Structure 1
Amino acid sequence: MNTARRPLLAAALSLAGAPLGLVPRSAGAQALSADSTGATLRLVERLLRLDEDGLDPRHYAIPDTALAAADAASYRLALHRAASLALMDLLGGRVRELPGRPDLRRDAAAVGMDRWLAELAATPDPAGVIERAALLPPGAAALKAELLAQKQIARRGQGATIPGDTTIDPGSVDATRIPALRARLSVEDPVLAAAPDAGARYDSVLEAAVRRWQALQGLEVDGRVGRISIGLLNRPLAARVDQVRVAMDMARARMAEPSERRIDVNVPDYTLRVVEEGRDLLTMAVIVGRRDRATPMLRVRMTALQFNPPWGVPERNAREDLLPRFRRDPQAMIDKGFRVFGMVDGQRQEIDPRTIDWASINPQRIPFFIRQDAGDFSALGRIKFIMPNNDDIYLHDTPDRHLFRRPDRAFSSGCIRLERPNDLMALLLDGMPGWDLARALRAIEARTTSAVSLRRQLPVLLRYDTVTVEAGGRVRIRPDIYELDAAYARAMAAARPMQVAAR
């Protein structure tokens, strides 16, 4: 609150007859029963600082001080309404749900909203109630500190960008781009900011700063500033502010996951965990959908394993990925186990790919069904983990093991590729009569397609958390690969009818 307004508000409240007391019952709500002008001042100041909690004070129609002198009853009612709306968002989240985000679930009953609203109406210290609500979610204090830090970085780095998109290599010299790179990184790297300026040369000090930044972003730490790094560096710093605001709001009234054994995949962090009663039983790297083929967020159950699975190629993959390869070398595709089927005299029959004029095929209307047989080259590897859903998403093995060495792993067409599929298979078969890892490996070595239904069908959550609070309160921010945080931030900014639940 502007300190110049404090005496004005105090005087207005005095003339209006502070303490606040109650609004008339006909108004349909209680006013704050603050017993002093000081308590009211503290409440107004706290509401004006809701931006520290990732909320926009403008959404809550905090009444102007002039109203206190002109109409004391209306002022008390408006202030109570503003405080109540803010309290409900601090406790329950400003965004209650979003389409396509089943990973966002609130537990309003666990919050006890009525109890909090009643306390707000009765307490002599309403600002204290707001403060406690703001710090209630796990990690709230660390996220609040990170929000402040990101806002300061955004202010310092406003307009700092790197021109061009060609790679900047360590040791190179560029009188325009390298000073721009140093200026951009100095905004958030105090070590680099305090180092001597090497001018146009990409020296070892700048390289060390680039490597630190790449590690924080989850990129390949090689010191080379390529297209992906430049894109992230040129992204508005305010976007990271929004990511922390989103994380704060997502944490509010977030429903606790069940204590039973479950599979948890944090898509933008490229990690899978098997969790039971809060303890990690297994952790591994995963590969998720590309930005243009995003992995959907899901809540499903894993029901079966398939050994040596064939791959029925989706139409989009056939059109965008396989058609150019068939045009180049149909024999190579045959060698990798791909088979082509078409309709002949009303019957589906296999067609030799070498007899097809692939150059004449319209990519928008491929008249064939393509399948890849199980084998060493199969895109699904040797194991498919089935979890029925409308998006035909599943977990699977992969022959492309080298991609797990990349810190950024958005390479698939939407399904989840596993770094250690055998370890997950062993956990899923644990306790199943007649099955163990040895028998499963024999089924794989048989090189024929077979399946087994799981006795213990674990819940699977595919979620999207780019901002996480780690042990010790350290906050880690990953890139918003699908721009779901940006969509959430837009939802937070959207206006909502200002209503206080009837009491």
Structure 2
Amino acid sequence: MGLALALLGLAGPALADPPAAGIPAPGPLARPTAEAQQRLAERLRRLEEDGLDPHAYGVPEDAQALADPAGYQAALQRAALLALTDLLHGRVTSLPNRPDIRRDTAALPMGPWLARLAAAPEPAAVIDRAALLPPGTAALKRALAAARARVAAGGWPAVPAGSDTLEPGAVDPVRVPALRARLAASDPLVPPTGDDTYDEALVAAMKRFQEAEALEPDGRVGRLSFAALNRPAEVAVRQLRAALDQRRAAGPAPTERHIEVNVAHQRLQVIERDRVLLEMAVIVGKSARATPMMRVRLTSVQFNPPWGVPERNAREDLLPRFRRDPRAMMEKGFRVFSYVEGQRVEIDPMTIDWQTVNPQRFPYIIRQDAGDTNALGRIKFVMPNTEAIYMHDTPDRHLFRRPDRAFSSGCIRLERPLELLDLVLEGAAGWNRGQVQRVLDSRQTTAVTAPRSLPVRLHYTTAVVEGNEVRLRPDIYGLDAAYVRAMDSTRARVAQR
């Protein structure tokens, strides 16, 4: 703290620490005018526009400038120091189970910034510069301002859900006018007035809303659509606050070819030197079985993989299906095993009384043979980790047409696995589409090591900036809400050298 105060002109020479290595000693300090100090205080009181809570920084009241000028200046500079630290390095240093958030604070050393703040005749400008440093910040701040304005205006108009689905063409004197008012508040193409008919124009607007919310864009307003329409406006504020802070001092992406999976947006990208080589839709874990965030490396590929069914999947997903029709499960390649006197033996599913099987003490091991109906499809991408998460093909191709694709038990299902395979096996001797097809046609389980392991990051970013626009997807796992709680509970830190 001594060096920081010295750079700000708040500590005398006898109290100041010597300059740290690599930090130039400050030159003659500028003396901000009273007006410049007032503008700095005003800027710090507007830290909410950056997603921060101004009350966390102890910004002094203007009245103190007259009653206690020295104390006012000291408090103001300390507030500026702490705010500058959070704007550059992020308010939240780390969170449990969020390895996808990694900061490179060494790339933004505080010393030069503190020197700028101390020497600037207009210190508020230094705060502005730091606030806009991360890419995409300007667009996120505009979106945050709009979201805060909506909250200040009382939020979104409510839409009564009722007991049934609102179908296109329906006449409803209560829900249709409410729906029209709600959509008009967020969609400039919707006229705010009309009759009680859920007409084509309103259905088209509802489809646009559903697509933006990662819902089935069919125009039918059911339980999930009503929930999205009535989501509190404060939710977007939280998401945008989290997005702003997560970008601060974000660690650099690998320069080598790597894979990024945005779980919240359910998209995969293969990137090399800032160029997107491949992009596709993916299916991620449902909220009850969330895909964990992680940083791993893709090391190998397995063709025609069998599926060793995890116990939770077996008792929660497969047991009801075995109870309904064990023969159909056999036809889909499912096999049942148990341990008898320490030896694993296969059991005919038709001989088991599935109705009496206790799901809390599931006694069997389930395995699905490789084949067209296998849950992993025909290709599995192996990336060793403690969570048993991998990327794979799937026979359920129709699910990729849905904007909401949180259906899996945690693993990543791929829309176009063969295209990813081309990039993963690039440079592997003898491997091309023809050889891949021969191996797939053989129906034999075959593994091949990738010629180079690829970094894979599974991350959770609900706010994506595309050009000047911000695209928000629902906080399906509540991770943004948890992040904002950490922001608001974290004590303000003192800037490090």
**Partner residue, 2:354:** 358
TM-score by length of 2: 0.92
Equivalent position to 1:44, from 41, 46, 55: 41
Contact 2:371 2:443 in 1 (8 A): yes
Cα pair distance change 1:28/1:177, threshold 3 Å = farther
List per-residue Cα deviations over 1:112-132 (Å, max 9, x = no partner). Answer: 222101211222111010010
Matched ranges for 1:190-205 at <5 A: 190-192=188-190, 194-198=191-195, 200-205=196-201
Q: 28-37 vs 323-332, which deviates more?
A: 28-37
Cα pair distance change 1:26/1:224, threshold 3 Å = farther
Superposed displacement of residue 470, structure 1: 0.6
Counterpart-to-counterpart distance in 2, 1:412 and 1:443: 27
Matched residue SS, 1:469: strand
Counterpart-to-counterpart distance in 2, 1:72 and 1:157: 40
Measured on the aligned residues, the alpha-carbon RMSD in Å equals 2.0
Contact 1:137 1:252 in 2 (8 A): yes
Question: Where do 5+ consecutive residues of structure 1 fail to align?
Answer: 1-19
Do residues 89 (structure 1) and 83 (structure 2) align? no
**Partner residue, 2:451:** 455
Counterpart-to-counterpart distance in 1, 2:130 and 2:9: 23
List per-residue Cα deviations over 1:98-154 (Å, max 9, x = no partner). Answer: 111111111101112221012112221110100101111111111111111122223
**Partner residue, 1:158:** 155
List per-residue Cα deviations over 1:241-266 (Å, max 9, x = no partner). Answer: 11111111111111110121111111
**Partner residue, 2:128:** 131
List per-residue Cα deviations over 1:150-170 (Å, max 9, x = no partner). Answer: 222233352632223532112
List per-residue Cα deviations over 1:321-352 (Å, max 9, x = no partner). Answer: 00011111111111111111111233110011
**Partner residue, 2:180:** 182
Do residues 237 (structure 1) and 233 (structure 2) align? yes
The residue type paired with residue 140 of structure 1 is T
Q: 24-33 vs 390-399, which deviates more?
A: 24-33
Equivalent position to 1:76, from 73, 77, 80: 73
Contact 1:157 1:184 in 2 (8 A): no
Superposed displacement of residue 297, structure 1: 0.8
Equivalent position to 2:476, from 481, 484, 487: 481
Superposed displacement of residue 492, structure 1: 1.2
Cα pair distance change 1:231/1:143, threshold 3 Å = same
Matched residue SS, 2:486: helix
Contact 2:81 2:495 in 1 (8 A): no
Counterpart-to-counterpart distance in 2, 1:316 and 1:180: 42
Contact 1:297 1:461 in 2 (8 A): yes
Matched residue SS, 1:488: helix
Contact 1:21 1:35 in 2 (8 A): no
Do residues 168 (structure 1) and 166 (structure 2) align? yes
Superposed displacement of residue 361, structure 1: 0.8
The residue type paired with residue 131 of structure 2 is A
List per-residue Cα deviations over 1:230-284 (Å, max 9, x = no partner). Answer: 1111111110111111111111111110121111111111111111111111111
Q: 365-374 vs 114-123, which deviates more?
A: 114-123
Question: Where do 5+ consecutive residues of structure 2 fail to align?
Answer: 1-7, 18-25
Superposed displacement of residue 23, structure 1: 5.0
Counterpart-to-counterpart distance in 2, 1:32 and 1:137: 28
Cα pair distance change 1:480/1:254, threshold 3 Å = same
Counterpart-to-counterpart distance in 1, 2:353 and 2:379: 34
**Partner residue, 1:500:** 494
**Identity rate, percent:** 59
Superposed displacement of residue 32, structure 1: 8.4
The residue type paired with residue 485 of structure 1 is D
Cα pair distance change 1:27/1:174, threshold 3 Å = farther
Contact 1:376 1:399 in 2 (8 A): yes
TM-score by length of 1: 0.91
**Partner residue, 2:22:** none
**Partner residue, 1:413:** 409
Matched ranges for 1:275-290 at <5 A: 275-290=271-286
Contact 1:429 1:437 in 2 (8 A): no
Cα pair distance change 1:235/1:113, threshold 3 Å = same
Superposed displacement of residue 26, structure 1: 7.0
Cα pair distance change 1:352/1:49, threshold 3 Å = same
Counterpart-to-counterpart distance in 2, 1:127 and 1:32: 16
Structure with bigger RCO (C-alpha 8 Å, 6+ apart):
2
Do residues 314 (structure 1) and 317 (structure 2) align? no
Aligned residues: 480
Contact 2:265 2:462 in 1 (8 A): yes
Q: 158-167 vs 370-379, which deviates more?
A: 158-167
The residue type paired with residue 402 of structure 2 is R
Matched ranges for 1:83-482 at <5 A: 83-158=80-155, 160-164=157-161, 166-192=164-190, 194-198=191-195, 200-471=196-467, 473-482=468-477
Contact 1:59 1:495 in 2 (8 A): no
Matched residue SS, 1:187: helix
Contact 2:257 2:454 in 1 (8 A): yes
The residue type paired with residue 489 of structure 1 is V
Cα pair distance change 1:252/1:282, threshold 3 Å = same
Matched residue SS, 1:455: strand
List per-residue Cα deviations over 1:266-316 (Å, max 9, x = no partner). Answer: 111111111111111111111111111111111100111111111011111
Contact 1:91 1:253 in 2 (8 A): yes
Contact 1:266 1:462 in 2 (8 A): yes
Contact 1:382 1:397 in 2 (8 A): yes
**Partner residue, 1:8:** none
Matched residue SS, 1:306: strand
Matched residue SS, 1:377: coil
**Partner residue, 1:3:** none
Matched ranges for 1:50-65 at <5 A: 50-65=47-62
Matched residue SS, 1:399: coil
